[in-house]
C-alpha cells in the first residue's frame, strides 16, 4: 500500500474532479446554438441543440480512431451541420471558438482552489485529461507544471501508455506518482493498470460505480481538501 510519504508527484484529472462538467457543456451547446441562429440561421433552424449533440456523437462513432479528440469531433460536426443546411462551411471555425469560450466558463467545486494551492505547494501537478480544457483559459495554469490530454497523446485514459507518458513528463516512476480522479473505470482502474497508485474522489453526486472496483485506490474521499490532509500538504 502506497504511503503519503512515498508520493513525489500528482497526475490530476480535470472534469468532475475540479468542476462539474455537465452544466458547462449544456451552457456551451446552448451558446453555440444562439451563435448559429445569429450567423448561420438555416443551420440553427435545421439543427436544435439536441440534434447538434447527436451529430457530434455520430462523428465520434464514425471515426473511433479520432473520437478521443473532442475538439476535432466538435468542429467536424459543426461543419457537417452547416453544409447540410446550405450555410457557409467557413463558419465552423468561429462557431467552434464561441463554443470553446463557453466550455471554459466553469464553476469550480468549493474545495478546488484551496486544495490546489496546498497540493501545488508540496508536489508537481500534471493535468491528465481526456477532455480539451485549457488551464490558462481558466486561470489555473500556475498550479500545474504541465498538461497532457488525449488529443496530445493520441489516446487517453484508461490506456496505460497515457498514464505512463504523464509520469515521464513528471520525471518519476509510475509508483511515485499518485493519480487523482473521479471516474472508477478511466481514472482508478486505468491508473492501476499503468502501475500508478490512485486517489478516488467520490463527490456526493457521483455515486458508486455499477461494478466493483478491481483496483484498490490508496485514498477515497469526498473532496480534494481531504486528499490534501491525507498527503500532509
Half-sphere exposure of 121 (CA within 13 A, CB side): 10
Distances in Å between the Cα of 168 and the Cα atoms of 25, 45, 155, 164 are: 31, 48, 16, 6
Pick from 74, 63, 72: which is nearest to 29 by CA?
74
Residue-wise DSSP of 163-190: HHHHHHHHTS-GGGEEEEES-IIIIIIH
Show the cell assigned to 171. 520525471
Per the CB < 8 A criterion, the answer to whether 197 and 218 are in contact is yes
Marked catalytic residue, from 13, 15, 183, 187: 13
d(CA 85, CA 215) in angstroms, rounded, equals 48
Active site residue 13: yes
List of residues 6+ apart from 184 with CB closer than 8 A:
200, 209, 213
How far is Cα 164 from Cα 141, in angstroms, rounded to an integer?
22
In angstroms, what is the C-alpha Rg of the chain?
A: 19
For the annotated catalytic residues, the residue numbers are: 13
Amino acid at each position: 500500500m502506497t504511503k503519503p510519504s512515498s508520493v513525489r508527484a500528482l497526475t490530476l484529472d480535470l472534469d468532475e474532479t475540479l468542476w462539474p462538467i455537465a452544466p458547462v457543456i449544456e451552457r456551451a451547446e446552448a451558446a453555440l446554438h444562439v451563435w448559429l441562429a445569429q450567423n448561420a440561421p438555416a443551420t440553427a433552424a435545421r439543427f436544435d441543440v439536441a440534434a447538434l449533440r447527436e451529430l457530434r456523437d455520430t462523428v465520434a462513432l464514425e471515426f473511433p480512431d479520432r473520437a478521443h479528440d473532442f475538439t476535432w469531433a466538435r468542429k467536424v460536426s459543426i461543419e457537417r451541420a452547416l453544409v447540410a443546411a446550405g450555410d457557409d462551411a467557413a463558419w465552423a471555425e468561429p462557431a467552434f471558438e464561441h463554443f470553446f469560450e463557453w466550455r471554459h466558463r466553469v464553476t469550480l467545486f468549493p474545495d478546488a482552489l484551496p486544495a490546489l494551492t496546498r497540493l501545488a505547494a508540496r508536489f508537481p501537478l500534471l493535468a491528465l485529461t481526456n477532455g480539451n480544457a485549457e488551464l490558462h483559459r481558466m486561470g489555473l495554469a500556475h498550479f500545474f507544471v504541465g498538461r497532457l490530454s488525449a488529443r496530445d497523446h493520441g489516446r487517453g485514459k484508461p490506456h496505460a501508455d497515457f498514464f505512463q507518458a504523464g509520469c515521464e513528463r513528471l520525471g518519476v516512476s509510475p509508483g511515485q506518482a499518485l493519480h487523482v480522479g473521479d471516474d472508477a473505470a478511466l481514472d482508478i482502474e486505468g491508473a492501476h493498470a499503468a502501475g500508478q497508485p490512485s486517489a478516488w474522489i467520490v463527490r456526493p453526486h457521483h455515486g458508486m460505480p455499477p461494478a466493483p472496483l478491481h483496483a484498490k485506490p490508496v485514498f477515497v474521499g469526498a473532496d480534494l481538501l481531504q486528499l490534501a490532509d491525507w498527503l500532509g500538504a
